[in-house]
Amino acid sequence: MYDYTAFDAAFVRDRVAQFRDQVERRISGALTEDEFKPLRLMNGLYLQLHAYMLRVAIPYGTLNGAQMRQLAMIADRWDRGYGHFTTRQNIQFNWPKLRDVPDMLDALADVEMHAIQTSGNCIRNVTTDQFAGAAADEIADPRPVAELIRQWSTDHPEFTWLPRKFKIAITGSPHDRAVTRAHDIGLRMLRNAAGEEGFEVLVGGGLGRTPMLGKVVRDFLPRADLLPYLEAILQTYNLLGRRDNKYKARIKILVHETGIETLRAMIEDAFAENRRSFAPVDPALLERLEAAFAPPDFEPPAAVPQFLSPALRSFMDTNLHPHRLGHYASVTVSLKPVGGAPGDATSDQMRLLADLAETYAHDELRVSHEQNIILPHVPRRHLPSLFARLQAAGLATANVGLVSDIIACPGMDYCALATARSIPVAQRIARAFEDIDRQHDIGALKIKISGCINACGHHHVGHIGILGLEKAGVESYQITLGGDGTETAAIGERAGPGFSWDEIVPAVERLIGAYLDLRHGRAESFLEVYRRLGAAPFKAALYPEAAERRAHAG
Amino acid sequence: MTKAPHPQIVTANHLLDGDVIYLTEALDWTRQITAAAVAHDALRAHTLLDEAQSRPHEAVGPYLAPVTLDPQGRAAPLHFRELYRTTGPTFLRDEAPHV
Ligand code: SF4
């Protein structure tokens, strides 16, 4: 864990005190809403449909038991006893009262947390692989780099008023679990021929209204050059990014309109300049960062219990990820029980997760962009007892990566920008496929749902993406097919006309039925069938009448 | 005076707790849409909106929302967004209990 320095602690406390004063001035009438809004947004406070919402940063999705317990306390004391984990690896509280927010922020500061830069046109929370520091397939833990970026970007005077928000994701593994190609900047660790560590740098990815995959702007950037290079990208964007049209202000549009070649040349020029002027990062700081994320004191290999119940084995099939140590595993705790709201956890569940992390898993927890909680370092010998405790709390859903492990943004049940609901669509799909054996039979499938074009639910990169819109005064759901957020990233293709609230779940059932008919056995996933056959057979399943009409016409 | 296609009400969020609120005939705030002042023409609608806007320290983001009328002539949501604003998160109601 990264521990705050005296500087960090004072900085966060100062911000809370400042915001406390701003809230008081808003309530007294000294500040208008127009004046107050940008200030509250800078502190993560939104006004949603039914209430304020406080978005709390969980830098690179990493937290410990004490922090999780504090989130539970905050949920109980100032909210309604639950929180919502988001695709940005953050947590949102849905019901805070304006007067309480400074106290909530102070309570966060008590455990070295805050809500800074979770909103506004600044560099947002850096996201990463939820298995960082644990995954068997990793080159290096990306979190020291993520923390370095956080320190560089926090309150960066030049980049506080960018044309638009700016998101950076980093993966330390060739298997991209951080959706790096859908971020303004994606960083992928790799080694060059000489064995040195560095990054492939992607720029201009993003979902939303104009979905685009990031393009490679640098094949190999030595690790030591990271900050001057990032600064060069941001400088170029800050200068050239469009401020005249909010929908064209993201760097992806700049990349698109300027062309990657031209932009690359400009970035390289700025980089050459920066490299001369940039003071190299203090090696003591780098050492401190590396030490902060040093692996825990792993225990030596020990015997694993012989008998594993069928339920545990089924859980292990889906919810375990290979750890770099054979006698360890990373355990994903699904926040997608049938009937639940994806990503929601009650305060009791948060406290249990904190206990489990402390008892079995070296006191580490992660939030995944897929809205689940991970215990990254669990000795396999603890799996039966861990599983039993999860089961007792209703947290042992064995569905990670399956049809009911759905990403859904808050949609029109909370979000002021939404055009339709998304949570209840996820719930209805999960219920339609409730039978866990059937889910295991269907296999790997990523359904992602957004309640508006902003695409917080990553629908463009879902194998099946669902976008909620309004059409003629009712909710309408558009399906995209074949999206992929991993190292083989693709933007899903729009299937055709939207489906009504009543039609959307049967439409998804038809898609999955078509997949089951078309696949060459269980080994071939939905996405693989889609890539082999294209969209046509799936469209035929979605729109049987159109297919029939075509058959008649032919 | 032009007649609005639908009657309208003024709605906003309460400054302190964020709750959905509606402006009443008495120029108070209520949390019940049925108690909202109904404007049957554009002039009245804008008078109500001006009133709401002149009280920024009670209400945030006031706007006019078209409504239908129930048999008693009280406002009822027209658009589904306004309907959900009266109910709170719908899945807490329609689907399995949240907690
Ligand atoms: S996708 Fe739209 S509805 Fe969903 S959380 Fe983002 S802004 Fe809100």
Residue A350 covered by a domain: yes
Q: Is the CB of A230 under 6 A from ligand 1?
A: no
* Same-domain status, A156 and A216: yes
Residue A400 covered by a domain: no
Considering only CB atoms, A414 lies closest to which of B13, B89, B99, namely B89
Residue A484 CA to residue A464 CA, distance in Å, equals: 9
Residue A297 covered by a domain: no
* Same-domain status, A456 and A380: no
Residue A301 covered by a domain: no
- Average pLDDT value for chain A: 95
Give the model's pLDDT for residue B60: 97
Give the model's pLDDT for residue A154: 86
List, in sequence order, every residue forming a beta bridge with A499; answer none if it has no partner. A477
Give the model's pLDDT for residue B93: 58
From A457, A500, A456, select the one nearest A478 (Cα to Cα).
Answer: A500
Domain membership of residue A369 as a residue range: 310-392
Two tokens, residue A518: 């078309």
- Final residue before a domain boundary, out of A289, A324, A352: A289
Residues A409-424 as b or e (16 or more Cβ within 10 Å = b): bbbbbbbbbbbbbbbb
Which regions of chain A are under pLDDT 50?
none
Q: What percent of chain B has pLDDT over 90?
A: 86
* Same-domain status, A434 and A376: no
Give the model's pLDDT for residue B91: 85
Give the model's pLDDT for residue B97: 38
In the sheet with A344-346, reading across from the earlier edge strand, the strands are A45-47, A52-56, A91-93, A82-85, A344-346
* Same-domain status, A418 and A486: yes
Per residue in A53-81, pLDDT tens?
999 999 999 999 999 999 999 999 999 99
* Same-domain status, A416 and A537: yes
Contact residues on chain B for A49, CB-CB shorter than 8 A = 20, 81, 84-85
Give the model's pLDDT for residue B84: 96
A123: left (phi over 0), alpha (psi -120 to 50) or beta: beta
CB atoms within 10 A of CB A244: 7
| Crossing angle of the two packed helices A65-78 and A347-360, in degrees rounded to 10 | 170
* Same-domain status, A65 and A20: yes
- Pairing verdict, β A407-408 and A447-450: parallel
* Same-domain status, A282 and A134: yes
Per residue in B20-63, pLDDT tens?
999 999 999 999 999 999 999 999 999 999 999 999 999 999 99
CATH number for A359: 3.30.70.3340
Residue type at A511 in one-letter notation: L
Q: Is the CB of A450 under 6 A from ligand 1?
A: yes
Residue B60 CA to residue A32 CA, distance in Å, equals: 10
Contact A82 B61 (CB under 8 A): no
- Final residue before a domain boundary, out of A84, A110, A136: A110
Q: Is the CB of A490 under 6 A from ligand 1?
A: no
* Same-domain status, A373 and A455: no
Give the model's pLDDT for residue B95: 44
Considering only CB atoms, A47 lies closest to which of B60, B89, B95, namely B60
* Same-domain status, A504 and A386: no
| Complex ipTM value | 0.92
DSSP-assigned states of every residue in A311-355 = HHHHHHHHHEEEBSSTTEEEEEEPS--TTSPTTEEEHHHHHHHHH
- Final residue before a domain boundary, out of A369, A392, A415: A392
What count of Cα atoms within 13 Å lies in the side-chain half-sphere of residue B18?
23
Residue A53 covered by a domain: yes
CATH number for A281: 3.30.413.10
Residue A117 covered by a domain: no
Give the model's pLDDT for residue A275: 92
Give the model's pLDDT for residue A536: 97
Per residue in B4-13, pLDDT tens?
489 999 999 9
Contact B18 A346 (CB under 8 A): no
Q: Does A51 touch chain B (CB under 8 A)?
A: yes
CB atoms within 10 A of CB A286: 16
Give the model's pLDDT for residue B2: 53
Residue A300 covered by a domain: no
This prediction has a pTM of: 0.95
3-state secondary structure A429-495: HHHHCCCHHHHHHHCCCCEEEECCCCCCCCHHHCCEEEEEEEECCEEEEEEEECCECCCCCECCEEC
How many separate domains does chain A show?
4
- How many A from CA of A53 to the centre of ligand 1? 13
* Same-domain status, A87 and A150: no
Establish, for the pair of chains A and B, how many residue pairs have beta carbons separated by less than 8 Å. Answer: 80
Residue identified by tokens 């759901």 is A477
Residue A514 CA to residue A542 CA, distance in Å, equals: 9
Give the model's pLDDT for residue A554: 57
